[in-house]
Structure 1
Amino acid sequence: MKSRILVAVLGVPVLIYVVLWAPSIVMMTALCLLAGVGSMELQQCVSGVKRSRLVSLSAIVSIFTVEWYYDRPEVVALLFLLEGVIIFCDAIFKGGKIKFQQIMAALFGSIAIGWSFSAFLRLEASGVHRAYLLLPFLLSFACDTFAYFAGLTLGRHKLAPKVSPKKTVEGSIGGLAGNVVCGLLFAYGMDRWFGASIAAVPMVLLSLICGVVAQIGDLSFSLIKREFGVKDYGHIFLEHGGVLDRFDSVLFVAPAVEIILTLFPTAFFGLLK
């Protein structure tokens, strides 16, 4: 609990500043760092080594994925093609020493993680107020926090015991309820301070969808850890673990928010830059 409070006290103000007020290049740099470290953590988890050519390549391509979505999205496909060719050439040259699961971790880590973090840049580029970029964080962290306390106090029935033994059905429901509350508070804040009118029903639906997606993201990365016998992906956030331990839900929620807000802009976009 002390670790949670410490990380929140230090991290939340930094997160809000970077998302709302820092120059776009600062936000892009932060996203690049998160993507690079997250890709490294995934490859280290799967391969069981801290340093390797695949670990470095995963981080580099993930960083370029975010950066190129920032200023040259038309060549991102070429980046992915080059990465695939380099990885398989290396695997062929080493004659089977590089396992298929390591190759897939490198491709998934660099492409999927980089693409997910770049969702924030695509949202910003769409012209919406930068406050909307807080939504993926809000609807991930709120779900996780409310689920934790609901499970701690009310949890009786296991949700996915073979993947994450401590998670409960009651905690899951508490996370969804917390998301709805925080989503409505976000809508009120946008109306009160930014003049953006967001209807309650769309926000409730978005909060519920993102709550479900957030929990799937959390369980997905827990599944990977359990398969490879790893407790935490890293220790950047003290007892909270690494980037993938803290941002596993965000990696799923950020693209979901981007897609929903793009498909239904009139329900959410009340204020442009």
Structure 2
Amino acid sequence: MRQRVITAVIALIVFIPIIVYGGLAVELAGGVLAVIGLYELFKMKGLTLLSFEGVVSVLGTLVLVLPLENWFFFLPQETNHFTLFYFFVMVLLAAQVVSKNTYTIDEAAFPVIASLYVGMGFQMFVAARNQSLVVLLFALFIVWATDIGAYMFGRQFGKNKLWPEISPNKTIEGSLGGLLSAVVVAAIFLLLYPGAKYFGVSTGLLLVYTMFFSAAGQFGDLVESAIKRHYDVKDSGNILPGHGGILDRFDSMLFVFPLMHLFGLF
């Protein structure tokens, strides 16, 4: 517990100035976090980023995360993230021909989905901050409230397993507690930052959305648990002592931010 607290304090000391400052600092942080997340996925599968598919995946991930107008200004204005990303998909697919099918489409599928998973998640993280610090904080508070609420309610009232095949310790009671906590925290947040002013929708509708975001965050957590169970590892990494890896801390956010964008909040 002491190690977890120390790591959390240090992480916040580093993280808070970055998200407050925004701009290139957040974009660079998003790119670095995405590459670390990609590294963790590759490591779980027994692959390395210092390989053909690793380098292609890193480049594909970065073109998803980093705003093109700031980092790839030398490209034609018509270029978009997905066209550029697909170029790297074509490179992976072309490797089948060059390798005479010793490198197959099945092997190419993993780096593509891994790059999309972390790349789109952190692209939306950066986009949320570029829209507004309020938007970013709203998402972060929902995720944190869900995590804390699920832990506390699960520990106090948890009896019925939520998804034991994937995450044996999670309970239905904890999940509902996380949902309730997220709505309460969102309601308090929106008293200070009304939905109509900062998000373009009513506060009431945002509270309804919050339930979807909280549920999506919990599902994102379960997705990462499923990945770790598949590869038979306890944590995605060890860069955060006491907490695990970057994916262990950002798994919920990788689902929440894209869903917020889908709902038109930024």
Flag whether TM exceeds 0.5 (same fold): yes
Does the alignment pair 1:157 with 2:160? yes
Could you tell me whether the CA contact under 8 Å between 1:16 and 1:134 is conserved in 2? no
Residue identity opposite 1:108 in structure 2? I
Q: CA separation of 1:199/1:23 partners in 2, compared to 1, >3 Å: closer, same or farther? A: closer
1:259 is matched with 262
Tell me the CA shift for residue 103 of structure 1.
Answer: 2.0
Report SS of the residue matched to 1:239.
coil
Corresponding position of 1:201: 204
- Give the match for residue 170 of structure 1: 173
Matched letter for residue 152 of structure 1: R
Equivalent pairs counted in the alignment come to 257
In 2, Cα distance between equivalents of 1:70 and 1:175: 38
- Say whether 1:111 aligns with 2:110: no
Matched, 1:55 2:54: yes
Partner-residue secondary structure (3-state), 2:236: coil
Structure 1: gaps spanning 5 or more residues: 266-273
1:79-112 CA-partner distances (Å, limit 9, x unpaired): 2222112212234444555465542221122233
8 Å Cα contact 1:216-1:249 kept in structure 2: yes
CA contact (8 A) 2:7 2:242 kept: no
Separation (CA, whole Å) in 1 of partners of 2:140 and 2:114 = 20
Q: Give the Cα separation in 2 of the matches to 1:47 and 1:201.
A: 47
Shifted more, 250-259 versus 195-204: the winner is 195-204
AA in 2 matched with 1:237: L
In structure 2, relative to structure 1, the CA distance for the partners of 1:50 and 1:235 (3 Å cut) is farther
Answer yes or no: is the 8 Å Cα contact 1:44–1:55 preserved in 2. no
Q: Give the TM-score of the pair, scaled to structure 2.
A: 0.85
Alignment of 1:71-90 (within 5 A): 71=70, 74-90=79-95
* Structure 1 pair 97–137 and aligned structure 2 pair: CA distance change class (3 A): farther
Residues 38-89 of structure 1 deviation map (CA, whole Å, 9 limit, x = unaligned): 1222222224557433223222321222124454683323322221122122
In structure 2, do the counterparts of structure 1 residues 160 and 15 end up closer, same or farther at CA, with 3 Å as the change threshold?
same
Q: Secondary structure at the match of 1:159?
A: strand
AA aligned opposite 2:25? V
Residues 4-25 of structure 1, C-alpha deviation per residue, up to 9 Å, x if partnerless? Answer: 32233222343332222x1400
Which deviates more from structure 2 when the two are superposed, residues 52-61 or residues 219-228? Answer: 52-61
Identity %: 28
Change beyond 3 A, Cα 1:104–1:196:
closer
Measured in 2, the distance between the counterparts of 1:230 and 1:57 equals 25
Instruction: Say whether the 8 Å CA contact 1:143–1:176 is kept in structure 2.
Output: yes
Aligned residues of 2:19 and 2:129 also touching (Cα < 8 A): no
Residue 8 of structure 2 corresponds to which residue in structure 1? 8
Correspondence 1:1-273 to 2 at 5 A: 1-20=1-20, 22-49=21-48, 51-69=50-68, 71=70, 74-95=79-100, 97-98=102-103, 100-125=105-130, 128-190=131-193, 200-262=203-265
Does structure 2 retain, via aligned residues, the 8 Å contact 1:40–1:58?
Answer: no
Give the partner amino acid of 1:225: K
State the alpha-carbon separation in 2 of the partners of residues 230 and 97 from structure 1: 28
Pairwise CA distance, 1:37: 1.2
Whether contact under 8 Å (1:36, 1:60) holds in the other structure is no
In the other structure, the counterpart of 2:75 is none
Instruction: Judge conservation of contact 2:37–2:118 (CA < 8 Å) in 1.
Output: yes
Contact 1:46/1:101 (8 A) holds in 2: no
RMSD of equivalent CA atoms? 2.6
Matched to 2:12, the amino acid is V
Partner Cα separation in structure 2 for residue 117 and residue 152 of structure 1: 31
